[in-house]
């Protein structure tokens, strides 16, 4: 409710002037207006109180609305603050991890530098010391004529496991170097796989191209084997020859003349009689079949 205070004031002024004029004329008529004036006063006070009440309610609603908005803003601020705190925690964690990594990296770099200094110091210390390192000398040379050995094994219905054969010779005659002499076919993927298998098992593979004579295939690796063993056999105490071919008899005699023990490993049915007698030791495939065959 809105009160027109200017209109009320004018009415009171008029009443007040009337009373004042009556008093000047010494009249009692203004006394009759006193109740009316008091009623007007009460009305005016009621209107003022009502206006204050309405204003207080409006102000209260305004304050409540703004208070609610402030509460909403405060909740949003708290959520934002929590998000910021989480991000700060993540950043601190990452900084800590990065610092740890840098610290470890720095320590490792220092350790590497210290090791390098020690190595350099040791190298300098031993530069003037004469070397007493003696290279390991293998005791036994294993020389295999592949065609001859495989043919002998086939006659006995067995297949040689070259890994087990090498192990057998190593156990019985000491550390060894193994060489195998093979006829090579052009572009044979299967043979390449076999060569890889032999090399992985410690064999030195010596190849020679095969020659075809009608229905016969020859590689004649015996000549290469004899020349190679004559050159390298002098560095060994024992030579194990896996072949029964009599063409190797001069090689065996020459090695024995140099004080080298020659062991012939072959099949009795495929061994030259004179070669078997000349050998310092003869090993029959039949006797060791279980130890070197491919089971």
**CATH code at 189?**
3.40.50.1010
Residue 126's pLDDT band, with cuts at 50, 70 and 90, is: low
Same-domain check for residues 157 and 272:
yes
Q: Is residue 133 part of a domain?
A: no
Tens of pLDDT, residue by residue over 92-104, are 888 888 788 877 7
Per the DSSP assignment, residues forming a β-bridge with 265 are 283
- Final residue before a domain boundary, out of 96, 126, 156: 126
Give domain status of residue 182, yes or no: yes
Within this chain, do residues 158 and 227 fall inside the same structural domain, yes or no?
A: yes
Specify whether 144 is located in the same domain as 270: yes
Nearest to 287 by CA among 261, 266, 262, 270: 266
Q: Give 266's contacts (C-beta < 8 A, 6+ positions apart).
A: 148, 149, 152, 242, 243, 244, 276, 282, 283, 284, 285
pTM of the model: 0.54
* Same-domain check for residues 103 and 240: no
pLDDT of residue 43: 76
Give the residue among 247, 241, 292, 256 at the shortest CA–CA distance from 274: 247
Same domain, 88 and 162: no
- The mean pLDDT value for 163-178 works out to 93
Tokens for 171, please give them. Answer: 């156990």
What is the spatial distance between Cα 223 and Cα 250, in angstroms, rounded to a whole number? 12
- Examine residue 2 and state whether it is found in any structural domain, yes or no: no
Query: Nearest 5 degrees, angle CA 239-CA 240-CA 246?
Result: 100
Q: Helix 249-257 to helix 221-232 angle, to the nearest 10 degrees?
A: 0
Question: Does residue 132 fall inside a structural domain?
Answer: no
pLDDT of residue 295: 59
In this structure, the answer to whether residues 144 and 84 fall within a common structural domain is: no
Please state the rounded mean pLDDT for residues 219-227.
87
Residue range 211-219: average pLDDT?
A: 65
Same-domain pairing of 52 and 112: yes
Is residue 135 one of the residues assigned to a domain? no
What is the number of domains present in the chain? 2
Q: Give which of 192, 166, 190 is closest to 178, Cα–Cα.
A: 166
For residues 170 and 286, membership in a common domain is answered with: yes
Residue among 230, 273, 245, 47 at smallest CA distance from 146: 245
Asked if 248 and 241 count as a contact pair (C-beta separation under 8 A), the reply is: yes
Mean predicted lDDT score pLDDT of the chain: 81
Cα separation of 15 and 20, whole Å?
9
Tens of pLDDT, residue by residue over 171-190, are 999 888 999 999 888 777 88
Stretch 210-219: mean pLDDT: 66
Please indicate, yes or no, if residue 134 is contained in any of the structural domains: no
Show the domain range for 244.
Answer: 140-292
Q: pLDDT at position 195, please?
A: 92
With CA atoms as reference, report the closest residue to 271 among 284, 287, 288. 284
Give the tens place of pLDDT for each residue, 13-55: 666 666 666 656 655 555 555 666 667 667 777 777 777 777 7
Strand partners, 212: 217
């Amino acid at each position: 409710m809105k009160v027109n205070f200017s209109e009320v004031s004018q009415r009171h002024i008029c009443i007040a002037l009337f009373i004042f004029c009556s008093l000047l004329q010494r009249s009692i008529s203004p006394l009759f207006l006193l109740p009316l004036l008091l009623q007007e006063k009460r009305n005016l006070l009621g209107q003022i109180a009502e206006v204050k009440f309405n204003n207080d309610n409006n102000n209260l609603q305004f304050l409540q609305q703004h208070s609610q908005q402030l509460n909403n803003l405060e909740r949003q601020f708290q959520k934002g603050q929590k998000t910021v705190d989480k991000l700060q925690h993540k950043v601190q964690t990452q900084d800590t991890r990065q610092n740890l990594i840098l610290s470890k990296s720095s320590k490792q770099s220092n350790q590497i530098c210290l090791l390098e200094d020690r190595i350099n110091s040791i190298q300098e210390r031993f530069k003037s010391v004469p070397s007493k390192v003696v290279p390991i000398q293998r005791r036994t040379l294993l020389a295999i004529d592949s065609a001859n050995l495989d043919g002998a094994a086939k006659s006995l219905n067995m297949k040689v496991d070259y890994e087990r054969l090498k192990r057998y010779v190593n156990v019985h005659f000491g550390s060894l170097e193994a060489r195998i002499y093979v006829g090579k076919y052009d572009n044979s993927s299967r043979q390449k796989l076999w060569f890889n298998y032999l090399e992985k098992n410690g064999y030195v593979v010596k190849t020679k191209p095969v020659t075809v004579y009608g229905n016969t295939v020859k590689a004649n690796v015996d000549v290469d084997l004899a020349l190679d063993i004559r050159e390298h056999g002098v560095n060994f105490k024992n030579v194990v020859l896996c072949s029964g071919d009599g063409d190797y008899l001069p090689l065996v005699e020459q090695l024995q003349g140099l004080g080298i023990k020659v062991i012939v490993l072959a099949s009795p049915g495929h061994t030259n009689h004179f070669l078997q007698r000349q050998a310092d030791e003869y090993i029959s495939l039949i006797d060791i079949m279980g130890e070197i065959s491919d089971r």
